[in-house]
Amino acid sequence: MSQKALVLAAGTIIFCLMSGCGQKASEQITELQHFTVDSMEGIITQSGVEVDKQNSADGNGSLRIAATEPTVVRLFEVADIDVENARLIYRARVRTENVEGKVFLEMWCHFTGKGGFFSRGLQNPLTGTMGWTTEEIFFMLKKGENPDTVKLNLVVDGKGTAWIDDIHLLKGLLQ
């Protein structure tokens, strides 16, 4: 193959990659629930968690967790949602300060007769000191799979301070 043909082929591949050739079908996102965390209302874990009006991704306040040891902060539990045959998405804004260890999102889906299954954001946990970052994890649900409860947590696997704000539970459908 000539050098000119190789350059043309490489250019075509680069163009395809940049323009989205071969991308998966677009996803339609529906908000199931939005949790503003400007108060402790609805927060399951009350110990070691407080509202911080000074530090917030959305300007309305956030939850501040000062962990002296590894801890799971149980935030919200949601029931009676219709999400089968979809991608269930847990998205939140998180920041950290002086974290020794990892901070990540955790979502548990419980199914009648099958038990609980989880998804954790271990692929890119926060550590050290990080500014506000959008974190997201998901759970793929097949046709006929509809959890009776969904639990949204923040895990501090170590010690330090973490904040969480602007929490969303979303449903993604492929178009």
Domain assignment of residue 70, given as a range: 25-174
Q: What is the pLDDT of residues 68-108, one digit of tens each?
A: 999 999 999 999 888 989 999 999 999 999 999 999 999 99
Does residue 13 sit within a domain? no
User: How confident is residue 173, by pLDDT bands cut at 50, 70 and 90?
Assistant: confident
Q: Does 7 map to a domain?
A: no
Residue 145 lies in a domain: yes
- pLDDT tens digits for 106-143? 999 999 999 999 999 999 999 999 999 999 999 999 99
Q: Which residue has the tokens 């550590």?
A: 127
Residue 10 is assigned to a structural domain of this protein: no
DSSP 3-36: HHHHHHHHHHHHHHHHHTTTPPPPEEEEEEEEE-
Taking 50 as the threshold, does the pLDDT of residue 9 lie above it?
Answer: no
Give 80's DSSP letter: S
Residue 65 domain-assigned (yes or no):
yes
Check pLDDT > 80 for residue 3: no
The answer to whether residue 96 is domain-embedded is yes
Please say if the pLDDT value at position 11 is more than 90. no
pLDDT tens, residue by residue, 144-164: 899 999 999 999 999 999 999
Count of domains forming the chain: 1
pLDDT digits (tens, 9 = 90+) for 19-75: 344 434 567 999 999 998 999 999 999 999 999 999 999 999 999 999 999 999 999
> What pLDDT shows up at residue 36?
87
Q: What's the CATH number where 39 sits?
A: 2.60.120.260
- What is the pLDDT at residue 26? 66
154 domain residue, yes or no = yes
Q: What is the pLDDT of residue 174?
A: 61
**Positive or negative, the Cα torsion across 140, 103, 66, 37?**
negative
Give domain status of residue 37, yes or no: yes
